[in-house]
Homo-oligomer: A and B are copies of this chain.
Amino acid sequence: MAQRKSPSRPRSAAAPRPRDAEQTRAEILHAARVLFATRGYANAGMREIAAAAGITPALVVRYFGSKRDLFVAAIESDIALGPFLGPDRATVGRHIARHFFSKPVREVDTLSILLHAAGQPEVCDLATELLATRVIQPLARWLGPPRAEARASLVLAIISGTWLFRQALPMRAFAGGPDTSLASCLAAQIQHVVDGLPEP
């Protein structure tokens, strides 16, 4: 019953983590992305991230320097809006809406990490810059005139508002799947912006 502690090698139960720096670094990064995306920057503690990666908080700072630098590393992967920016403009609204409402509520993606940085003074400037250059600009280029940037901003606002009530401030009305009335309304709404709004 009592755990035997042999003097030479105490690897009786719970094998003592093979020492692989590269994999450990990857596990820290994965844990950080999960927690930053689900709990937000402020509410994801270093101890919690370290525990999720199966190591010690001190090791997290040895690998990444500081919590802010860890956040920078966590958002450095690309935001995948490539699949939506294809040639089929007529159905892109439906595709985005389906993608959005198909995935589980607590999905881990870079967009969630960025939006969850709202109001955190240490990192929200990083998030805004990344959203502007990696989301708004390509989207505006794909949408084209008239008023490309305004329409791209509005698409992002619609998606982010939906994200807000689905992930961060979870409301029952937004919790459903891709076949709900809300999802189809979102699809029509995005499509309307993509098609070009009527002139005022």
Contacts and interface: CB of A to CB of B under 8 A. Distances in A.
Interface of A: 39-40, 42-43, 114-121, 124, 127-128, 131-132, 136, 147, 149-151, 153-154, 156-162, 164-165, 168-174, 180-182, 184-189, 192-193, 197-198, 200
Contacts of A181: 147, 149-150
Contacts of A116: 119
B119 A43 contact: yes
Contacts of A174: 153, 157
Contact of A39 (B119, B189, B200): B119
Given A124-B170, A161-B164, 19 more contacts: A115-B164, A115-B169, A117-B169, A118-B169, A119-B168, A119-B169, A124-B168, A149-B181, A154-B158, A156-B161, A157-B162, A157-B186, A160-B161, A160-B164, A160-B165, A161-B161, A164-B164, A185-B197, A189-B192
Number of copies: 2
B169 A153 contact: no
A111 to B, nearest CB: 12
B171 A118 contact: no
Nearest to A116: B119
Contacts of A180: 150
B120 A171 contact: no
6 contacts: A124-B169, A132-B172, A132-B173, A150-B184, A161-B161, A185-B197
A53 B160 CA distance: 34
Contacts of A157: 158, 161-162, 164-165, 174, 186
Nearest to A149: B173
A120 B43 contact: yes
